[in-house]
Amino acid sequence: MKKGIHPAYKPTTITCLCGNVIKTRSTHENIQVEICSLCHPFFTGKQKLIDTAGRVERFQRKYGDYRKKPAEKSDE
């Protein structure tokens, strides 16, 4: 690598609005973010389905509840 053309790679902290602080290394100093893995709904399990034009309801009517076991058939 050529010397003098690359930015300095130094220790930094990433701070989220929720108060989470992550120590890492970067070319930028003191990065502030609005959302992190501790407060993002996808990672916390609090994500909700957003029903746009009834798509979720239409899917549930068409395919039913996939978590239910299918009824067992009797051989009579």
Asked if residue 30 is part of any domain, the answer here is: yes
In tens digits, the chain (76 residues) has pLDDT values of 688 898 888 999 999 988 889 999 999 989 998 888 788 766 666 666 565 667 777 787 888 776 666 666 656 5
Domain that holds residue 56: 10-63
What total of structural domains would you count in the chain?
1
CATH number at residue 39: 4.10.80.400
CA atoms within 13 A on the CB side of 65: 5
What's residue 13's pLDDT?
Answer: 94
Task: Convert the chain into a string of H (helix), E (strand) and C (coil).
Answer: CCCCCCCCCEEEEEEECCCCEEEEEECCCCEEECCCCCCCHHHHCCCCCCCCCCHHHHHHHHHCCCCCCCCCCCCC
In-domain check, residue 1: no
**Residue 15 included in any domain:** yes
pLDDT of residue 61: 81
What's the pLDDT at 18? 86
Asked whether residue 22 is domain-assigned, the answer is yes
CB atoms under 10 Å from CB of 14, counted, come to 16
Q: How many residues does the chain have?
A: 76
What is the pLDDT at residue 62? 83
| 69 lies in some domain | no
Residue 73 is assigned to a structural domain of this protein: no
